[in-house]
């Protein structure tokens, strides 16, 4: 059993008009049996959208167990995103926060016309 668990508790916004940095933050909870691990620990954050999962590393910043990170979607991304934090030995996180990038499903292009 891991000596701590991780939870995402906030996202900078639940709706974005276009792809832009998304600030996420959360906290680590230590088990009573493993209080010797208190300090900076590794947290994995799974970000899921359109059936794909991306995992980002974060570290708790203090013995209080808080952590934060920024997700940078590509400029063409849009859709609904869920994210969850987990201990590195856990295989999968549960969704803990959600947001949406409205964006556009159309492709950008330039049309040249002979005048």
For the chain, domains (ranges, CATH) are 4-101 (2.60.40.1930)
User: So what's the pLDDT on residue 25?
Assistant: 96
Beta-carbon contacts of 79 under 8 Å, excluding residues fewer than 6 positions away, are 49, 50, 100, 101, 103
Radius of gyration of the chain (CA): 18
Counted residue by residue, the chain has a size of 115
The residues, ordered by sequence, that sit 6+ positions from 35 with a Cβ below 8 Å of its Cβ are none
Is the entire prediction scored with pTM above 0.75? yes
pLDDT tens for each residue of 4-17: 899 999 999 999 99
pLDDT digits (tens, 9 = 90+) for 6-51: 999 999 999 999 999 999 999 998 876 655 556 788 999 999 999 9
**In 3-state terms, what secondary structure has residue 8?**
strand
pLDDT single digits (tens) 81-114: 999 999 999 988 999 999 999 986 545 555 666 7
């Amino acid at each position: 059993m891991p000596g701590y668990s991780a939870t995402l508790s906030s996202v900078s916004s639940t709706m974005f008009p276009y792809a832009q940095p998304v600030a996420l933050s959360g906290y680590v909870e230590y088990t009573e049996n493993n209080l010797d691990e208190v300090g900076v620990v590794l947290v994995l954050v799974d970000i899921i959208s359109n059936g794909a999962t991306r995992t980002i590393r974060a570290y708790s910043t203090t013995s209080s167990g808080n952590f934060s990170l920024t997700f940078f979607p590509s400029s063409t991304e849009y859709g609904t995103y869920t994210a969850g934090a987990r201990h590195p030995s856990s295989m999968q996180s549960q969704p803990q926060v959600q947001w949406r990038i409205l964006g556009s499903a159309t492709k950008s292009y330039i049309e040249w016309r002979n005048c």
